[in-house]
Amino acid sequence: MPATIRDIKNRTGLSLATISKYLNGGNVLPKNKKLIEEAIEELHYEVNEIARGLVTNQSKLIGVMVYDIESFFSGSILHYISYEMRKRGYGVLICDSYNNEEVEKQNLKFLLNKKVDGILMLPVNLSGAFVRPAREASVPVVLIDRSFTDDEYDFVGIDNRMAAFRAVSRLIENHHRKIAVITSDVEYTGMARLEGYRSAMYQAGLPAPEKYQRLGRHSFELGYVSMKQLLALDDPPTGVFLGNYETTLGGIMAVNELGLSWPEDISIIGFDDLIVSKVVRPKIWMAVQPMGEICSKAVEILMSSIEEKKEQITPVKVHFGALIREGSSIRDMEET
Amino acid sequence: MPATIRDIKNRTGLSLATISKYLNGGNVLPKNKKLIEEAIEELHYEVNEIARGLVTNQSKLIGVMVYDIESFFSGSILHYISYEMRKRGYGVLICDSYNNEEVEKQNLKFLLNKKVDGILMLPVNLSGAFVRPAREASVPVVLIDRSFTDDEYDFVGIDNRMAAFRAVSRLIENHHRKIAVITSDVEYTGMARLEGYRSAMYQAGLPAPEKYQRLGRHSFELGYVSMKQLLALDDPPTGVFLGNYETTLGGIMAVNELGLSWPEDISIIGFDDLIVSKVVRPKIWMAVQPMGEICSKAVEILMSSIEEKKEQITPVKVHFGALIREGSSIRDMEET
DNA sequence: CTGTTAGCGCATTCAG
DNA sequence: CTGAATGCGCTAACAG
């Protein structure tokens, strides 16, 4: 049985209140302070956070909801978030929605039941209607990476349209005219990136035929299959923009398997810099999200909402710029 | 403010005890039952688990400690575990040790502070000494995937030595004589798999020269670099056993980049079947761990330890067999 | 089967 | 600055 505040009361002869005050950073006479500290040491006392939570109405827990914990992106996010929260003494409750809208709704309720002090979410639902219970319970929610189409919450991520625009521009600048895209048209980020691709093409006066737009839910398989299809076309593209990490990985694998190589046979620029890109040669051009910054910003916003429990004023949206990192996977088509 | 048991007392005129009993599945007169259910409905009442936890001395939380949350393996494990625990109404507190022994020790204490009811762990430490605080607090711990070299806890995983032995045997049966291994010699699983490789070679009377054993900490890079080195040898191996998912992925990428292909140029058999292998062709032979079974077994063991709070009797170790799944990545060397 | 009475471990009024 | 008293929301004996 762990020691309680009562044990240290008996040991020091002080009252519960004094000890409690000390524990919460209040002023206590030096000699009492010493007394308490000694007792804590001896008894290996540690505050029972769940008891404290009952009275302060805080659990020192936050919930993190991810659309798919098996995705590479989630792992990275979770890494940074758990690090940030640990520093602040918060526990991180994880919920996996495995890309299922219904499950996500239940997860939210589950977390609310657990009395989390706040929620960080990488949502699968495009609509934010299901988040209402959190708002009603005035549990702050911060969105990461993806936002809703119909409701506003605090958000931290990148400007996806712009990132894609800039990535595709890199191909255009290198005089590519036949540029394809592999991305999602059913997820928030994918849709924005698709738009970025289309804008860039349009603005450069280049055609963006449907056969060059391979869409579906972001996945390794989408990248793999689409890349093979693109390269098998009668009139294949010379450059391909891959819309996220999974598709990038799949696309790379496909090119390799076909015995082709970049930038000689095909130019590519991918998205999201996780493990693989560190090691693949020739190095691949990448639109890189600042994961660490995104997470620490999201945590910062969440924490301030938790602390000032004032009603949500107006949602804040933070968009970082993606870094377009240089590689050797784009060939200049004019130097032919 | 959410409704409390008191609100429903006022609304029904019943006593707290009766309501509490109903909530905990006790017998209540049908008419009272109806009364309570109505009130619950109206008031949107939900039990405050943290208050309940204070008296029952349970948090309905378990902790999961992983050596590296960014590894593919962790994501898969977390997926299954969170699913199993949700079914049981438990929250999952996640801790990432990012392969740091010191961090892992702190994580354990952190979880204990959060009063988790049990811990599932994929440890980074080889020694189990740091788990003592959990044992002292009689918080059950179940190890997954990796075990300690110096202390015993409940464990669920596979027989790594045997899995590796069988994987390498697949190459031997196909008349390979020059067989290499890429795996870890500093992690529990890697060491056992290395042993399996060596036994298989020894037993078949085949040499296992050092140049064919590429060792280090399991990583994508290890697989990538090692495979390139192996294939650049004067006398390269004809078959390679890749010791885990990351190294498998790295090895595949290396073969592809060299413009080689399996099974013509090199025969390979990998480990752990996650996303990529579903999509790479020709299909790769794989030693596959039954992730779902492992996790549900681990959860089952943990739950029973939590429920029967009797002192730990004797640790139980469950080893599943890995499935050696057929592919087309091994060439029969006699058919030359 | 139901109601009354005590706490769980702690923070927080209020006096002193 | 300190101490005694009160209650957070709920469960667990007991009586009735």
Residue-wise pLDDT for A53-102, tens only, equals 888 888 999 999 999 998 888 999 999 999 999 999 999 999 999 999 99
pLDDT tens digits, B305-333: 998 765 557 889 999 999 999 999 999 98
Tell me if A159 sits within 8 A of A236, measured CB to CB. Answer: no
- pLDDT for residue B309: 62
Does A277 contact chain B (CB < 8 Å)? no
Does A220 contact chain B (CB < 8 Å)? yes
B51 contacts in chain A (CB < 8 Å): 54
B92 contacts in chain A (CB < 8 Å): 93-95
CA distance A305 to A303: 5
- pLDDT for residue B25: 79
Does B281 contact chain A (CB < 8 Å)? yes
Using alpha carbons only, what angle is made at residue A122 by residues A119 and A126, rounded to the nearest 5 degrees?
Answer: 110
Distance A99 CA to C3 C1' (A): 49
| Mean pLDDT for the stretch of residues B42-54 | 88
Phi, psi of A282 (to 5 degrees): -60, 150
- Preceding amide of B282 cis, omega within 30: yes
| Mean pLDDT for the stretch of residues B17-29 | 83
pLDDT band at B33 (very low <50, low <70, confident <90, very high): confident
pLDDT tens digits, B92-126: 999 999 999 999 999 999 999 999 999 999 999 99
What average pLDDT does the structure give for chain B?
91
CA distance B336 to B334: 5
Domains and CATH numbers, chain A: 5-56 (1.10.260.40), 61-158+291-320 (3.40.50.2300), 160-289+324-335 (3.40.50.2300)
| Mean pLDDT for the stretch of residues A139-148 | 94
Does B78 contact chain A (CB < 8 Å)? yes
Tell me if B317 sits within 8 A of B158, measured CB to CB. Answer: no
Q: Point out the residue among B54, B78, B224 whose CB comes nearest to the CB of A50.
A: B54
The answer, yes or no, to whether residue A132 has pLDDT greater than 90, is yes
Contact B275 A69 (CB under 8 A): no
Using alpha carbons only, what angle is made at residue A331 by residues A326 and A336, rounded to the nearest 5 degrees?
Answer: 150
Instruction: State both tokens at A196.
Output: 């970025």
CA distance A156 to A291: 10
Which residues of chain A from 13 to 72 reach within 8 Å of chain B, CB to CB?
Answer: 46, 48-51, 53-54, 59-61, 64, 69-72
pLDDT tens digits, A190-221: 999 999 999 999 999 999 999 999 999 888 89
Phi, psi of A119 (to 5 degrees): -135, 135
Tell me if A271 sits within 8 A of A244, measured CB to CB. Answer: yes
A314 by Cβ neighbours in 10 Å (0-12 / 13-18 / 19+) ranks as: exposed
pLDDT tens digits, B215-244: 999 888 999 999 999 999 999 999 999 999
Which residue does chain A place closest to B278, by CA atoms? A221
pLDDT tens digits, A35-64: 888 888 888 888 888 899 888 888 999 999
Instruction: State both tokens at A279.
Output: 């090691």
Which residues of chain B from 247 to 266 reach within 8 Å of chain A, CB to CB?
Answer: 249-250, 252-253, 256-257, 259, 261
Inter-axis angle of helices B49-56 and A49-56, to 10 degrees?
A: 140
The b-or-e profile of B40-69 (16+ CB within 10 A means b, else e) is beeeebeebbbbbbbeeebbbbbbbbbbbb
The answer, yes or no, to whether residue B31 has pLDDT greater than 70, is yes
Contact B50 A115 (CB under 8 A): yes
A308: Cβ contacts below 8 Å, ≥ 6 apart: none
Instruction: State both tokens at B234.
Output: 């004067």
CA distance A233 to A238: 11
CA distance A309 to A278: 42
Contact B72 A74 (CB under 8 A): no
Contact A114 B280 (CB under 8 A): no
The answer, yes or no, to whether residue B62 has pLDDT greater than 80, is yes
Q: Point out the residue among B91, B257, B275 whose CB comes nearest to the CB of A281.
A: B257
